[in-house]
């Protein structure tokens, strides 16, 4: 996997995704990603993006100000 910004090698890792929807903040921890070794750009694979969207959608319905979800525990 190569970084989309600078073209350097990106290594497998985990990150925390923070989505600020104004009324609520959704934090997803332990999201698998690729991280650039040069510029720290984070790259998600398509299936991770899809699952993240699902997690955010269901978190929205909870109407909590702050939701903290562990990616590995999300359905
Ligand atoms: Zn980069």
What digits encode the pLDDT tens for the residues 11-39? 999 999 999 999 899 999 999 999 999 99
Query: What pTM was estimated for this model as a whole?
Result: 0.87
Alpha carbons 64 and 72: distance in angstroms, whole number: 20
Expressed in angstroms and rounded, the spacing between residue 39 Cα and the centre of ligand 1 is 4
Expressed in angstroms and rounded, the spacing between residue 64 Cα and the centre of ligand 1 is 34
Q: What is the dihedral of CA 51, 53, 59, 65, to 10 degrees?
A: 130
Task: Return mean pLDDT, the chain.
Answer: 95
CATH of 10-73, one of 3.10.20, 1.10.3470, 3.40.50, 3.30.870: 3.10.20
Alpha carbons 75 and 29: distance in angstroms, whole number: 14
Expressed in angstroms and rounded, the spacing between residue 29 Cα and the centre of ligand 1 is 22
Residues near ion ligand 1 (Cβ under 5 Å): 3, 5-6, 8, 36, 38-39, 41
């Amino acid at each position: 996997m190569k970084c989309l910004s600078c073209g350097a090698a990106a290594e497998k890792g985990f990150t925390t995704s923070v989505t600020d929807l104004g009324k609520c903040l959704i934090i997803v921890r332990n999201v698998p990603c690729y991280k650039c070794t040069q510029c720290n750009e984070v790259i998600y694979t398509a299936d991770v993006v899809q699952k993240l969207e699902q997690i955010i959608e269901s978190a929205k319905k909870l109407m909590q100000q702050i939701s903290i979800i562990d990616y590995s525990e999300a359905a």
